[in-house]
Amino acid sequence: MNSAAEMIQNASGIGLATLAAISLLYLLVLYSVGLFGRRVSARHPLAPWVFSLALSIYCTSWAFYGVTAQAVVNGWWLPPTYIGSFILFWFGFKLVARIAIACRRYRITSIADFIATRFGHSRLLAILITVILFLAVMPYVALQLQAVATSINTLVGSTTGEYWYTDTGLYVCLWMTVFAMLFVSRSAKAHQPNPGLMTAIAFESLVKLLALLAIGAFVVWGMFDGFADIFSRAAESSAVQKIQQQALPAHTYWVHVLLGFAATLCLPRQFHVSFVENQRLSHLRSARWLFPLYLLLMGIFTLPLGLAGVILLGEQANIDLVVLQLPLAANRTDIALLAYLGGFSAATSMVVVATVVLGILITNELLVPLLFRRSNLTAAAADNPIKIATLRRLSMLFVLLLGFIYYRAIGSGTGLAQLGLTAFALVAQLAPVLIMSLLSRRINRSGAIAGLVSGALIWAYILLFPELVRAGIISSSIPQQGLFGLTMLAPQHLFGWQGDSITLGVMFSLSVNSLMILVVSQLTQTGLGEYLQSGRFLRSSKEPAPKPQHQLSFEECYLLVRRFAGEREAQRLLQRNLRERDPDLQRQAPANFIQATERSLAAVLGGASMRLVMGAIGRHARLPMETVERFVDEAGQVFRFNQSLLLSTIDNISQGIAVVDADQRLIAWNPRYIEMFSYPPGMVEVGKPVAELIRFNLQR
């Protein structure tokens, strides 16, 4: 054992400059892959296997380091968080499909946007979820910085700097910041797929998988005589037996399975890749078996690697780093560098996507509304792409800076597994409201807010507060003596609990969270707008948007948009969706071009009117365009007659009523509705977004 440790010390003399050059070269290759993916996607759609590999952003540096430590201590062959992902994709695929359909239908940009849209576009819910995700991502960013910094220090034979400016983690953070800024935050349109990013993530997933498989094969068959040899020697090893005395109770495995299930659904980076970047439902169907297969391959060597590390390096080994230490002990610097690249790749993809998603969240849900309200900006100024992209970059910088601060203050003294599980436990608070809101229309905004707030507060008390005290950031005797001096209220021994804090925090917070959602939803009334939106949202998430049933040429689409939206919008339709210089406009338009036509019409006519128009065209698509326009005009007359009938009906109702279309724009109301809210003359008009009326009421 001592000789192995000495070999690690002697072999770990890789120069820092060499390591920096390798890292820089890898980032340049990654950037080139992203550019290649962006160019290829202009001609060909994203391949299903690329999407499935991109989903594997779920495996961060924790998959290289922290999971190995978990496995050897508890004897877990497959990480339970991976089992949670299996369960979601195999048995909960209908839920995944419903979320994907709703995201495409409503052009969702994040999980906060998704939940807020389900509850009537609730601004308060969006802000609350943004804050929760911000707090959850901090430990996870710190985990990546700690993992990469520690691996660099191990390879070059140094230790963590005493001062912040000598800490390797600072320079890792700066590298990742620059890469994220250059690579992804160019566009202000958060809902649009980014094929370059997806291709780069897929490449990184391939690198980390091949790296881990190569290291596992080298250790199992190069340093031992196969799996049987490792397990037989582990059974006789006193070091392994001593470490496994710290094993958690069996039920903890299933708590971690629950965390894996929730994290696969709710982690902001995972939601972004799974649903926001998803272009076809068929990609998710392919991922249903490709993604679990990937996780199986990532986990197959986890326990053997951990056991091999303890057998060769002894009980004093840093079991978080056996993936690096074992090749060094065998004097194989090349394998150690491969392990470093795998961990670096896993950390980079997570940090980049997580900061991009948080940048979108902070910008869309906090900064833009704040600037709009404080500066009295016009809508055009608030939607300025350059300004939004700049705000997003600043938000990303802020996230990474706070991640480094968390790493210095708390993370450097906490195990990688503990950091990852702490973040998972907070993200899991979104799972009850997300799942319940798709299962029942009775769950309302008040219940969702009550559940999220209560769950997050319990998480903070049981899991975050003791860490802050341990790090010396807060001085308090509560973790030892309990709240109000009652030991039964001590955070990590609540009501006499003697198990691990993660299990207590997860089960107690999720139970209270779910109970509050159900109880408060039953005790409070649901607003009319929220009720209508929830019904529409639930219906739309069950079935994918129907593909265009009509066949139109490019010219017919152009003439139709010009007829209703004007020449400028028609020209914009061609410029944005036609990549050929001299296209044949008589050729049949593909589905994506017809969908773009529908969006252009919906922006002018509203969703309901657009469907009426396209339905009329679908029934008469083979007729000349002039005849089609006549049919559309006749359909419009029928629509106006039906609207008049609706107005005359609701005018005679004593209650205030307003009717909105699928795009949340007013289409009808009665005088009582105007009287109830005392709207000024001209304020309420057909096509007025409901959000503007809500904003007007809030500002009064």
Q: What is the CATH number for 33?
A: 1.20.1730.10
> For the chain, what is the domain count?
4
CA atoms of 208 and 346, how far apart (whole Å)? 6
| 633 found inside a domain | yes
| 580 found inside a domain | yes
Instruction: Please indicate, yes or no, whether residues 169 and 296 belong to a single structural domain of this protein.
Output: yes
Instruction: Please indicate, yes or no, whether residues 377 and 488 belong to a single structural domain of this protein.
Output: no
Question: Using alpha carbons only, how large is the chain's radius of gyration in Å?
Answer: 28
Instruction: Please indicate, yes or no, whether residues 524 and 562 belong to a single structural domain of this protein.
Output: no
Q: What count of other Cβ atoms lies within 10 Å of the Cβ of residue 652?
A: 7
Instruction: Please indicate, yes or no, whether residues 337 and 359 belong to a single structural domain of this protein.
Output: yes
Domain boundary among 545, 568, 591: 545
CA atoms of 595 and 549, how far apart (whole Å)? 11
Instruction: Please indicate, yes or no, whether residues 336 and 448 belong to a single structural domain of this protein.
Output: no
Residue type, 690: V
Which phi and psi (to 5°) does residue 652 adopt?
-95, 10
Instruction: Please indicate, yes or no, whether residues 615 and 690 belong to a single structural domain of this protein.
Output: no
CA atoms of 480 and 347, how far apart (whole Å)? 35
Instruction: Please indicate, yes or no, whether residues 109 and 227 belong to a single structural domain of this protein.
Output: yes
| 436 found inside a domain | no
For the whole model, what pTM was predicted? 0.74
| 438 found inside a domain | no
Instruction: Please indicate, yes or no, whether residues 414 and 494 belong to a single structural domain of this protein.
Output: no
| 273 found inside a domain | yes
Domain boundary among 545, 571, 587: 545
Instruction: Please indicate, yes or no, whether residues 536 and 620 belong to a single structural domain of this protein.
Output: no
Q: For residue 504, give both structure tokens.
A: 């207590």
| Count of alpha carbons within 13 angstroms of residue 642, beta-carbon side | 10
Residue type, 529: G
| 503 found inside a domain | yes
Question: Could you tell me the maximum CA-CA distance found in the chain, to the nearest angstrom?
Answer: 91
* DSSP state, residue 669: E
Contact 338, 214 (CB under 8 A): yes
- pLDDT given at position 187: 47
Average pLDDT for consecutive 10-residue bins of the chain (700 residues)? 51 72 88 84 77 91 81 86 93 91 82 88 89 87 84 77 74 82 56 76 93 93 92 88 82 90 92 88 90 93 90 76 86 89 88 85 78 51 58 84 82 60 89 92 92 94 81 69 71 73 89 96 82 74 54 78 74 74 69 76 57 60 50 52 60 73 72 78 74 72
Instruction: Please indicate, yes or no, whether residues 391 and 451 belong to a single structural domain of this protein.
Output: no
CA atoms of 579 and 577, how far apart (whole Å)? 6
| 87 found inside a domain | yes
Range of the domain at 40: 2-428
| 439 found inside a domain | no
3-state secondary structure of 665: strand
- pLDDT given at position 229: 93
- pLDDT given at position 188: 43
| Residue carrying structure tokens 């152009």 | 558
Helices (H), 376-500: 379-382, 385-409, 416-427, 430-439, 445-459, 465-470, 478-481
Instruction: Please indicate, yes or no, whether residues 200 and 332 belong to a single structural domain of this protein.
Output: yes
In sequence order, what DSSP letters do the residues of 57-113 get, joined into one string? GG--GGGTTHHHHHHHHHT-SS-HHHHHHHHHHHHSHHHHHHHHHHHHHHT--SHHH
Q: For residue 125, give both structure tokens.
A: 């819910």
Please choose, from the candidates 491, 617, 618, the residue with its C-alpha nearest in 3D space to the C-alpha of residue 564: 617
Which phi and psi (to 5°) does residue 621 adopt?
-65, -25
Residue 201 buriedness (CB in 10 A; 0-12 / 13-18 / 19+):
buried
Domain boundary among 501, 522, 545: 545
- pLDDT given at position 385: 52
- pLDDT given at position 106: 79
- pLDDT given at position 657: 79
Contact 659, 668 (CB under 8 A): yes
Please choose, from the candidates 663, 681, 664, the residue with its C-alpha nearest in 3D space to the C-alpha of residue 610: 663
Instruction: Please indicate, yes or no, whether residues 419 and 382 belong to a single structural domain of this protein.
Output: yes
